[in-house]
Amino acid sequence: MSSSNPATPAIRPAAAEPPVLEARNICVSLGGRLILDEVSTTLARGELKVVIGPSGAGKSTFLQCINCLTPPDSGRLFLEGRELNRHDSFALRRFRQQVGMIFQDFNLFDHLTALDNVSVALRKVRGLPAKEAKERAMQELERVGLTLRAKLYPAELSGGQKQRVAFARALAMDPKVLLLDEPTSALDPELVGEVLEVIRHLAKGGMTMLMVTHQMDFARALANEIVFMDVGKIVESGSPAELLAPGACTRTADFCGKLDHMGL
């Protein structure tokens, strides 16, 4: 009697990992003027995406919508494939913990030391005991090179050091994504490098980031993708090699050429 082998089960391809973050068809009007017109983007895990464009293009508003600091009129937000219900206050707080934001002007508490600026959210939001919160805060200050500045107040720090405290504060919450809104624009030129070095270190460590910036040398070197925005829309997107190739007839290359001419 012959035996037959059972049919070999079909091997299904592994499901593609959803984007860490997705913004879909975001629209915002302010004062009767359309600021964002169905803007969409996705961020893969470990990706650094840079957003550029002229003043008034809607870049900062787009980041604020993603973090729900500016509520969009319409559109959808997803974190690791799960849609955010913006009307659920608990879900919104949880979302903001996982999508950290770095602002142009640091937003530190002037009456708190660097250490306390980093540890306060760990205590108030995460509910960590004071000792544990301070230990974690020190780890993050060490990560951004500020161990020796932990007991100083913002008034005693340089602009670059203040921005690094802001990074430590965001990183202490273990975010899945960092949104960076022109993090070097308020800094003197000689201080820009120390903040870009923090971002470079995070990128190499696999942090997922969406960054609005005019630091195009940095974007050329590290960005996975550049997104060019104008009048509330994404005009074009692609890798730095595609958009900034010698002789490229792209809006991005034209814009960057103007920045280079102005010495920015």
Q: Which pLDDT belongs to residue 141? A: 96
The 10s digit of each residue's pLDDT in 86-131 is 999 999 999 999 999 999 889 999 999 999 999 999 999 889 999 9
217 pLDDT band, cuts 50/70/90, is confident
For 148-165, how does the pLDDT look when each residue is reduced to its tens digit (9 = 90+)? 999 999 999 999 999 999
Share of the chain above pLDDT 70, in %: 92
Segment among 111-115, 118-122, 216-220, 230-234 with least mean pLDDT: 216-220
Q: What pLDDT does residue 246 have? A: 83
pLDDT digits (tens, 9 = 90+) for 186-199: 888 888 999 999 99
Q: Is the pLDDT assigned to residue 79 strictly greater than 70?
A: yes
pLDDT grade for 257, boundaries at 50, 70 and 90: confident
Position 258 scores a pLDDT of 75
Residue 224 has pLDDT above 90, yes or no: yes
Q: What pLDDT shows up at residue 14?
A: 53
Predicted pLDDT of residue 13: 52
Say what the pTM is: 0.89
Percent of the chain's residues with pLDDT above 90 = 72
The yes-or-no verdict on residue 181 having pLDDT over 80 is yes
Taking alpha carbons only, the member of 172, 70, 162 closest to residue 110 is: 162
Radius of gyration of the chain (CA): 21
**Structural domains in the chain, sorted by start:** 21-107+177-262 (3.40.50.300)
pLDDT grade, residue 264 (50/70/90)?
low
Buried b (16+ CB within 10 A) or exposed e, 89-114: eeeeeebbeebbbbbbebebeeeebb
Work out the pLDDT band at 261, boundaries 50, 70, 90: low
